[in-house]
Every structure is written in C-alpha cells, then in structure tokens.
Amino acid sequence: MFDCCKKEPDVKEPTKIMTAKVFIVYYSTYGHVRQLALAMKQGIDSVEGVEGVLYQCPETLPKEVLEKMHAPPKPSDPVINIDDLPKADGFAFGTPTRFGGPSAQMKAMWDATGAHWGAGALQCKPFTLFTSTASQNGGQESTMLTMLSNMVHHGMIYVPPGYITPATNFDMTEIHGGSAWGPGCLAGGDGSRQPSEKELAFAKDSGAKLAKITLKLKA
C-alpha cells in the first residue's frame, strides 16, 4: 500500500547525459560517398552525447543497370525508412554528383517526404552535406546547392563547414575535393582514386561541427 508519510530515501540526481542522434543518410554506387559517410560518423561520434547512425538511400536502379555500371554489392548499412526521419536530431546527407546535381536515389528519397513536410516534422533540424565527383570542378558545389532546395522547403537548418579545416580548404599541394559547402572527394574518371587523408579529415571535422550544433539545438 502507498504510505504517504514514508520518507523518500535521498536519491542523488543522476548525471544527465544529453543524447542526440545524427542520421548519416547517403547514397553511393561505388563506395566513395560511403567512405566519407564513415569519416563523418567518426567526427559525430567524437562528440560526447552524440551518435551517428549510418543509413543508405533506397536504390532505384534495376539490377541489370547496376550490373552494366559495374556497381559492387551494397554494404550492410540499413536502408533508411522514410517514416523514421523525424527520429533524428540532425542529419548528414551524402550523394555522388550526377550531371552537377544530386543522384536520383537521393532525390527520390526527398520526393517521398511530403507527409513530413506537411507535418513540419523536419522543421529546425540541423543538417550538413557531402558529395563525391569524378573530376575536379565536376560540380561539388552545384550538387550541394541543388540539394539545399529540399531542406529549405522543410525548414531545416544548414550547418556548412565553411573554412573549419584550413589545411584542406587552402591546400594547393595536392588535388582534393570539398569546399565551404561541405566535404567531398575526387573519385577519378574510372573511380580508382580513393578519398585522401585530407578529404576524410575534412569530413570528420564537418561531422564533429554538426554534432556540436545538434547538441546545442537539442538542449
């Protein structure tokens, strides 16, 4: 029976651990964008109280087309369930460049978010962007600029890296992707170039910045 006179034992206030989840939602045909996604996760996870969770965009191309493109098998990262997007406190979205813009797979995901838009379910959620191109000047900035339109309509908050990693941003000693708009890598015309240390470090820094802002906005 409940005893209203019973003195409650002194309970110490537990240390409050703020936890925030950042969904890293990417599409990658050949794995370059996924490598950047992993570096983003490293940066996000380096901030106490924040966890990065990797998700792939649903594939839209038929198997036969992927085979003709010599696409390797998909990694084991879960495919994003669009209903789950509002569960994230922040996002990092990554896509390879397709003719200077985002991939159709990434766009198809956004085209399925009408219900979230109607409910304002993604309003004020912070996000950052990352990409990969075959060539230098292949359209990294135009890809991110074009992607932005989706998030703007959802009322989300862009967290671009700006010039947080001067060693990458201003480096003229080696070719590299990435800009103030977001990390990026150069895959080469045949996809043989892998993300460099500098490109991965920039993605890591950008993930850490996003994680810190996500925590602040959640507090």
Does 133 help bind ligand FMN (rule: CB under 6 A)?
Answer: yes
Distance from C-alpha of 80 to C-alpha of 35, rounded to nearest angstrom: 18
Residues 185/211/57/28 CA torsion (nearest 10 deg): 20
Minimum CB separation of residue 184 from ligand FMN in Å reads 9
Minimum CB separation of residue 30 from ligand FMN in Å reads 3
Q: 10 Å Cβ neighbour count for 46?
A: 15
Asked whether 182 and 160 are in contact (CB, 8 A), the reply is yes
Question: How many angstroms separate the Cα of 69 from the Cα of each of 4, 14, 63?
Answer: 72, 54, 10
Q: Between helices 32-45 and 197-218, what is the axis angle to 10°?
A: 50
Of 143 and 165, the one with the shorter C-beta distance to ligand FMN is 143
Does 135 help bind ligand FMN (rule: CB under 6 A)?
Answer: yes
Does 139 help bind ligand FMN (rule: CB under 6 A)?
Answer: yes
Asked whether 132 and 185 are in contact (CB, 8 A), the reply is yes
Among 33, 40, 80, 122, binds ligand FMN (CB under 6 A): 33
Task: Name 62's Cβ contacts closer than 8 Å, sequence gap at least 6.
Answer: none
Please work out the total of residues on this chain that contact ligand FMN, with binding judged by CB under 6 A.
19
Among 49, 58, 86, 100, binds ligand FMN (CB under 6 A): 100
Residues 172/196/42/116 CA torsion (nearest 10 deg): 80
Among 20, 22, 28, 127, binds ligand FMN (CB under 6 A): 28
Minimum CB separation of residue 106 from ligand FMN in Å reads 11
Minimum CB separation of residue 186 from ligand FMN in Å reads 8
Does 184 help bind ligand FMN (rule: CB under 6 A)?
Answer: no
Residue nearest to ligand FMN (CB): 138
Does 107 help bind ligand FMN (rule: CB under 6 A)?
Answer: no
Does 98 help bind ligand FMN (rule: CB under 6 A)?
Answer: yes
Amino acid making up residue 61? L
Residue ranges in contact with ligand FMN by CB under 6 A: 28-33, 96-100, 132-135, 138-139, 187, 191
